[in-house]
Amino acid sequence: MPVKVGVRLKHSRMLMGLSLKEVATKAGVTEGYLSKIENNVSQPSFASLHRITQALGINMSALFASAEKGDADVYIVRKDERAVLKTGHKRSGNRVTLENLVPSGPEFLLQVSIHVIEPKGGSNEAISHKGQEFGFVLEGRLKLLVDQGSYTLEAGDAFYFDSELGHRYANDASVTTKVLWVNTPPTF
C-alpha cells in the first residue's frame, strides 16, 4: 500500500507548529519544493526525505503505517499490506522503493525494510546518522560506498557498518536489486 509521504510530513510539520519556510531552511530545500512534496506533487529523493524528517525531529519510520497486532505483542505485516514508499523519480536517478517489514513507532528498536533499487538507481547523496546498519542482498548487485570504501555485493552477500560513517549505495547493474536492510535505532 503506497504511503502518502506528503500528507504525513505536512501533518507532522503542522503538529509542531512549524512553517514551510522553517522546515525548508533547516532541511536545505526550497519552500516550493517542500510544498510540492507535502501536496504529493513531487516525490523527494532519499537524501532530501532524510533531511526533511531530521528537520522535523522525526524519523522516516513515522511515515509508515503500523502493522496489525496479533496476540502477545506479535505483529504481522502481510506481503500485500506492506507500507511502500517510493523515493525520487526516474529523472532524479533515485529509483528506490522502500517496503517496510516491521511496525513503526518509538517503542520499536529495529527498522527493517526491503530496498528495491531499479537499474541505475540508488541514494544520490551520502548520509550519516547515529546507529548501525546491516544488509543482505536478496537479488541483483549492490555497490555500497561507506566512508572512503567502495564494495560490490552480489545476491547472498551481507554487510554491516556504523551508520555515523557517510554511506550511500547504487545499482549499476541492468537488473533490479533487492536488499533486506536493517537499521537500529530506527532512523528512517
Please say whether the beta carbons of 43 and 86 come within 8 A.
yes
Secondary structure of residue 98 in the 3-state scheme: strand
Q: What is the pLDDT, as a whole number, of residue 124?
A: 77
Q: What is the pLDDT, as a whole number, of residue 138?
A: 98
Q: What is the pLDDT, as a whole number, of residue 64?
A: 64
Q: Which of 15, 182, 12 is nearest to 100 (CA)?
A: 182
Q: What is the pLDDT, as a whole number, of residue 51?
A: 87
Q: What is the pLDDT, as a whole number, of residue 123?
A: 86
Q: Which uninterrupted H or E stretch holds 180?
A: strand 177-184
Q: pLDDT tens per residue, the chain (188 residues)?
A: 456 778 778 878 888 888 999 999 999 999 999 999 888 888 887 778 888 988 888 877 667 655 555 555 778 888 888 878 777 655 555 788 888 888 776 677 888 999 999 999 998 788 888 899 999 999 999 999 999 999 999 999 999 999 999 999 999 999 999 999 999 887 76
Starting from the edge strand earliest in sequence, which strands make up the sheet with 132-139, in order? 84-87, 96-100, 111-117, 177-184, 132-139, 158-162
pTM higher than 0.85: no
Domains plus CATH for the chain? Answer: 5-63 (1.10.260.40), 68-184 (2.60.120.10)
Q: Which three cell numbers stand for residue 159?
A: 554487510
